[in-house]
A and B are shown apart, each in its own frame.
Chain A
Amino acid sequence: MKLKQLESLLGNLQQFDNPKIELEQYPTGAHIASRMLYTAENSFGDVSNKVVADFGCGCGTLGLAATLLDAEHVIGLDVDDESLEIASINAEDLEVEMGLIQCEIKNLRWQGQIVDTVVMNPPFGTRKKGADMEFLSTALKVASQAVYSLHKTTTREHIKRAALRDYGASSAELRYDLPKQYKFHKKKDVDIAVDLWRFVPKPKHESSS
């Protein structure tokens, strides 16, 4: 599938009717989502024929992008049932299969090493401090191959240090496949610059995480 085609399909997805501020529900735009997954697939082979989890999936944009790029099994996880409902409708509209689980990412207990890749647009931790780090820490435990994640540019050094020192990443690199200052439209005139990261977890030996 071409990038333009992926972006266009994602652009037609239904987004939040009433975003919940406390959950930092910003829709993941079709532009950023298509580039994130396209990079994951075409530069690293982290999507097709893989098991992919979308943490904090919201309306399912990233996970659905993974299904469109031929991931074999995709699971979207979110705490909010209204979001999961929309994600489920979006999957139906695209005629793809995406598994959904209602849970809190930080309380997730995962068995084995089945998930290859985690993709996520986590809460930035502006409402609940540390929410972004809880997502990242869990993602690095669950993924066996790679984690793709968006984080505020202002937290760049902190993210890198925590990933490498505390969360068991063997590498943390910035991907410049996005325009340098990608803007998240939060309010009419307030934008947030974000980075696209690719983290590689260290090989794991335990049977559970």
Chain B
Amino acid sequence: MKPHRRKMLGIILFIAFGLSAAVGLTLYALSQNINMFFTPTQVAQGEVPAGQHFRIGGMVKDGSIAREADSLSVNFVTTDFASEVPIHYVGILPDLFREGQGIVAEGIVDAGGVFQASKVLAKHDENYMSPEVKAALDAAGASAENHSAASEGGSL
């Protein structure tokens, strides 16, 4: 092999090795950081493996928000209008968190069946519904429009 060919080969091998190492590590990191998303119905039917960290999405059930007066604890219920999952969260809720609003929470279900949220997200645009929440409602066979219209006396 001519010297410059050998050098070329060396460089190509170096690049190939670097790239495959990068791809391997990337895929590993990816597989370690996948957060599954489940709907309240899926949670109620026990589709979530015990102790798994996941995201849940649904609407905040009307009249379900209970704040403790002397701490930052909040309890509320999220629903896809077919099943409900109680959520417990300690901390400050996002600005747009309110009853009838679509939310996504991250955390795990404890032994008592309560979803212990480490993070609660509400979207910044009120007209915008997270695709995840929408999927959850669609899966449960309920359209959000019908429900919010019904709950607000058809004002939409």
Note whether A and B form a binding pair. no
Contact surface of A with B, Cβ cutoff 8 Å: none
Contacts from B to A (Cβ < 8 Å): none
